Chains A and B, each alone.
Chain A
């Protein structure tokens, strides 16, 4: 367990000592989201309707922006070999890396998402459910993304292949996350959507690290 937390802490320190990439993903999320009101016109009624979908889609894209480096830099400099020889099962290594990715790239989105949502004129309870959904869905984006990152290890143009692999797998999170906000705005309970999203998050915690471990072992062959 101590090795797991040491790895988690090290991954976070590695991002913090070169924070440019994490900040870039956050700015991409903000600016990309801010483009839509300009493109669609300043109709408050329309913007409130499309806001949940746009915010969620932007969160997916922002996550993809940084995922291709998740294993690649460790693979390139030989760190991945060393990690595989640690006294820690490979799935636990992948879990630590994915959770650190969420903490450094997913959590910041949670902080700026209310700003963007306010800009779209989303109601207070709409924003609250949006944040709850992103809090549950954020780890999913990093965990499923880690599988894609491991599968594209060593591939040329991995940054272009990764979205093709990962985006279809993100669809359930997108559907439940947007559904929760839509339900709230329509006067229905959001809980069923959030519970399904939570179930999806739990399933990905259990399954994704094994898939990512198998894929990265294949890459090291």
Chain B
């Protein structure tokens, strides 16, 4: 092995992403140790969501490599999927089911213990609404229901896309605490945010820079 081993648990080297003809970002590097946090910032359209989807394996990278414990994640996609909890900007809440049915549905799909659903609801203060059909929830309540999924099973890598959207102050604080606990237990959190949520001691990755780099590279390619 000529390549130096890194002590980081989750590592990205030169990630680039392209949607159709349009380059979104290029040259993303990061190294995250156990318990690390990474805040993704940047303007709308700079590719925060795309990067999170790419990290989750939902989107193919145009170039670059992701490593987990120094092994490329592409070598074992199943293992990588089992490490991830992904929370997109859409809530994946089913309006026809009750709040409890929603969370217990995910609990059984993720092989969580049978009481995990109720515990998770309690953590985000949704117990009272357990038997309410989810179509009656407000946007913030739906978001809390989506966040409750974080507590069903233990996964080392959290990928959260604007998790605080629509939350009131109390719920935002609860979310921050939840992420803190996750990191204190050695988990990694990668969070896209416009502000309103701060991870103490987290690294920041400004995607505007990576976005401009990608656009410049494209223009250079065109001029050549």
Q: Which of chain A's residues have a CB closer than 8 A to the CB of B59?
A: 220-221
A85 within 8 A of partner (CB): yes
Segment from A5-13, A27-35, A105-113 that makes contact with B: A5-13
Interface contact B91-A10, CB-CB below 8 Å: no
B136 within 8 A of partner (CB): no
Q: Which of chain A's residues have a CB closer than 8 A to the CB of B180?
A: none
Q: Which of chain B's residues have a CB closer than 8 A to the CB of A13?
A: 97, 101, 105
* Per-residue interface assignment for chain B, residues 60 to 88, with 1 indicating a CB less than 8 Å from any chain A CB and 0 otherwise: 10000000000000000010011010101
Cross-chain contact of B90 among A6, A14, A78 (Cβ < 8 A) = A78
A window 154-170: CB within 8 A of B: none
Interface contact B97-A82, CB-CB below 8 Å: no
Complex Cα distance A7/B110, Å? 10
B window 149-169: CB within 8 A of A: none
Q: Which of chain A's residues have a CB closer than 8 A to the CB of B19?
A: 221
Chain B proximity of A155: nearest CB distance (Å): 15
On whether A87 and B86 interact (CB within 8 A), knowing A77-B92, A78-B91, the answer reads: no
Complex Cα distance A77/B90, Å? 6
Interface contact B109-A6, CB-CB below 8 Å: yes
Chain A proximity of B92: nearest CB distance (Å): 4
Complex Cα distance A217/B105, Å? 22
Complex Cα distance A165/B131, Å? 41
Cross-chain contact of B58 among A3, A6, A18, A220 (Cβ < 8 A) = A220
On whether A82 and B111 interact (CB within 8 A), knowing A13-B101, A17-B97, A87-B81, the answer reads: no
Main SS at interface, chain A: helix
On whether A85 and B86 interact (CB within 8 A), knowing A3-B109, A10-B109, the answer reads: yes
Interface contact A14-B97, CB-CB below 8 Å: yes
Cross-chain contact of B111 among A2, A83, A220, A221 (Cβ < 8 A) = A2
How many residues of B are counted as interface, with CB atoms below 8 angstroms from the partner's CB atoms? 28
Interface contact B60-A17, CB-CB below 8 Å: no
How many residues of A are counted as interface, with CB atoms below 8 angstroms from the partner's CB atoms? 22
On whether A85 and B81 interact (CB within 8 A), knowing A13-B101, A14-B96, A14-B97, the answer reads: yes
Complex Cα distance A76/B88, Å? 12
Best-buried of A7, A13, A79 by chain B (most CB within 10 Å): A79
Cross-chain contact of B94 among A6, A77, A85 (Cβ < 8 A) = A77
Chain B proximity of A103: nearest CB distance (Å): 17
Q: Which of chain A's residues have a CB closer than 8 A to the CB of B82?
A: 87
Complex Cα distance A117/B160, Å? 54
B window 91-131: CB within 8 A of A: 91-94, 96-97, 101, 105-106, 108-111
A window 185-221: CB within 8 A of B: 220-221
Complex: chain A residue closest to B86, CB-CB: A85
Q: Which of chain A's residues have a CB closer than 8 A to the CB of B101?
A: 13
Best-buried of A14, A79, A85, A87 by chain B (most CB within 10 Å): A85
Q: Which of chain A's residues have a CB closer than 8 A to the CB of B57?
A: 85
A132 within 8 A of partner (CB): no
Complex Cα distance A220/B91, Å? 16
A window 71-116: CB within 8 A of B: 76-79, 81-87
Complex: chain A residue closest to B93, CB-CB: A77
Q: Which of chain A's residues have a CB closer than 8 A to the CB of B26?
A: none
- Name A's B-contacting residues (CB within 8 A): 2-3, 6-7, 10, 13-14, 17-18, 76-79, 81-87, 220-221
- Name B's A-contacting residues (CB within 8 A): 19, 53, 56-60, 78, 81-82, 84, 86, 88-94, 96-97, 101, 105-106, 108-111
Identify 23 residue pairs between A and B in the complex whose beta-carbon atoms are under 8 Å apart, listed by A's number. A6-B108, A7-B109, A13-B101, A14-B94, A14-B96, A14-B97, A17-B97, A77-B93, A78-B92, A79-B92, A81-B92, A82-B88, A85-B56, A85-B58, A85-B81, A86-B81, A86-B109, A87-B78, A87-B81, A87-B82, A87-B111, A221-B59, A221-B60
